[in-house]
Amino acid sequence: MLQSGTLQHGLKFQAITEESIRLLVDTFYDAVRKDAVLGPVFDNTLHGRWSTHLPRMVDFWSTILLSTGKFQGNVYGKHMALTGIEKEHFVRWLSLFKMVVMQLYGDDATIKILQTADRIAGSLQLGFFGERPVRL
């Protein structure tokens, strides 16, 4: 039985749920892996570890969006340890993320998720570049 807010027959999620976050993460990272700009960067970092990374991303977004407390970790520190990250990676990441969110969610949920993603991306951009050149 599907929960309230569940995607059915092309309808969009109206509420952010664990189920919708799981679909968001799976759909987004599938697009990332196929993307010519992001795919190589992510595969270089996560080669052979996608099966452990994706559940962590579900827990991360669940913690951020639903306050579940499932995620424990240092997101900023992990990302700052990466090398070769350029502004174009943020452009593609934000563009793909926005596209997937808009496909899956209704207006209110989309706004909440994109505002949250924009704040996270801003913090990471400040860390990488000392400025925030790309916004959603």
Residue with structure tokens 């563009």?
Answer: 95
**Cβ(87)–Cβ(135) under 8 Å?**
no
Question: 82-136 pLDDT, tens per residue?
Answer: 888 999 999 999 999 999 999 999 999 999 999 999 999 999 999 999 998 888 8
Decide if pLDDT at 10 tops 90.
Answer: no
Structural tokens at position 91: 């452009």
Question: 43-87 pLDDT, tens per residue?
Answer: 999 999 999 999 999 999 999 999 999 999 999 988 888 888 999
Q: Which fold has domain 18-129?
A: Globin-like (1.10.490)
Mean pLDDT along residues 3-9: 49
Domain positions in the chain: 18-129
The distance of Cα 59 from the centroid of its chain, to the nearest Å, equals 11
Mean pLDDT along residues 22-27: 98
Task: Please give the Cα distance from 61 to 25 (Å, whole number).
Answer: 8
Structural tokens at position 11: 């309808």
pLDDT value of residue 83: 85
